Amino acid sequence: MANRRASGEGLLRWRKDRKHWEGRITIGISEDGKSISKCFSGKTQREVIEKMTRFREQLHGMTLSADSRMKLKDWSERWLNEYMVHVIRPKTISRYRGMLQLHVYPYLGDYRISKITTIQVQRMYNDLKENGRRRDVKKLGKGLSGNTVRGIHMLLHEIMEYALKENMILKNPTNGTTIPKIEPIELQVLNEKQLKTFISALQSDEAWSDFFYLEIMTGLRRGEICALQWSDLDMVEKKLYVNRSASYQGEVGKTKTLYSERVIKLPQSVYEVLIERSKTSQSEWIFPHPKDTSKPMPGDIALRRLRKILESAGLPHIRFHDLRHTFATHAVSAGIDPKTLSSILGHSKASFSLDRYGHVTAEMQKG
């Protein structure tokens, strides 16, 4: 027969079939009015009572909601679809979902959210840092970068904070974990000789020469250049209005931030290239999809083309974003001031541009 304790202190009994003591505490009420309980077991009655006492102290009188039984992957999807739908951009939601599916769900996705512990989260971070890549990448190894693990931590921490507010968990299990330090990102930039080689290689690629020449002369983000329309070009003032961005797959939305919406004064050579291109264009997009001119250029197609151009020209492999770094670095070398550079790049503060490309100024002073 079960040994009942005082009201509110839970149930305690000896399980003859399993030869151990078992305790049970009510921690919440489900939507249909049934009790939600948490069980404890131990070899002695005292051991179980101590476990129950420690847990009761953690509750602080709080009652967990019925949603505490949700799996992490189900709660994360609800968080994205209901809590974040009008807070962050669809592109960001898609990126968050990809991070969760690739890096978090394989470890914790099927666990009840209320049962995830700090040590489980820590072990996940450690393994991602050592073996987080799906394949071994040359120069990078099998593990994720410290910055990527930190990004995963920040995302999971926010998901758990919302769960805490909804009384789904007693504490945020991401608190108390140790995450990698911020790793400074080494900028990959084409030097003056390599840049000349790159521009020379563009001349033999008629289909893409205008695209990459505009990129190397303005430092636009990949999504921004892909989403340009002819209506964004002021042919009188020789200005380019940047006010939208295309995703990796070609879906058009807002720019990265409010500061990303900007007006760029075009160099004469770039202006002439665009004017000449406009004479034969049959699309509203300056750089339309190669197979469907009613759609903008998808970012993944542009990236694949960049790799082929670099390979054929014997240039080092760089990311598309490194073309932006190349523009900014050479602009600083030419003497452009940080305030002007930040307005061209769409940075919120000139200090950010100065911090990112200040090494160029230092080298100029040394020279």
**Do 329 and 322 contact (CB within 8 A), yes or no?**
no
SS3 at position 356: helix
Distances 111 to 56, 151, 162, 166 between C-alpha atoms, Å: 22, 21, 17, 18
Dist CA 213 CA 225 (whole Å) = 11
* DSSP letter assigned to residue 2: -
Which among 337, 362, 335 has a CA at the least distance from the CA of 351? 337
**Do 80 and 44 contact (CB within 8 A), yes or no?**
no
Q: What is the structure's pLDDT at 320?
A: 93
Q: In what order do the strands lie in the sheet with 3-4?
A: 3-4, 11-15, 20-29, 35-42
Q: What string of DSSP letters covers 258-302? A: GGG-EEEEPPHHHHHHHHHHHTT--SSBSSB-SS-TTSBPPHHHH
Q: Tell me how many degrees the CA angle 279-195-234 measures, rounded to the nearest 5.
A: 30
Which among 341, 322, 321, 320 has a CA at the least distance from the CA of 331? 341
Count other C-beta atoms under 10 Å from residue 307's C-beta.
Answer: 13
Count other C-beta atoms under 10 Å from residue 231's C-beta.
Answer: 10
Indicate the helix (H) or strand (E) that contains 29. strand 20-29
- Tokens standing for 119? 């040590």
Distances 107 to 73, 158, 261, 337, 350 between C-alpha atoms, Å: 10, 18, 39, 48, 41
**Do 52 and 40 contact (CB within 8 A), yes or no?**
yes
Predicted confidence pLDDT, tens digits, the chain (367 residues) = 445 444 345 678 888 777 888 888 777 666 666 777 778 888 888 888 888 877 776 666 567 788 888 999 999 999 999 999 988 888 789 899 999 999 999 999 999 998 899 999 999 999 999 998 876 555 557 899 899 999 999 999 999 999 999 989 988 999 999 998 887 777 788 989 999 999 999 998 999 999 999 999 999 999 999 999 999 999 999 999 999 988 777 778 777 776 678 999 999 999 999 999 999 999 999 999 999 999 999 988 999 999 999 999 999 999 999 999 999 888 888 888 878 888 888 887 766 666 666 655 555 445 4
Dist CA 238 CA 171 (whole Å) = 57
Dist CA 292 CA 132 (whole Å) = 37
Dist CA 261 CA 243 (whole Å) = 5
Full-model pTM? 0.66
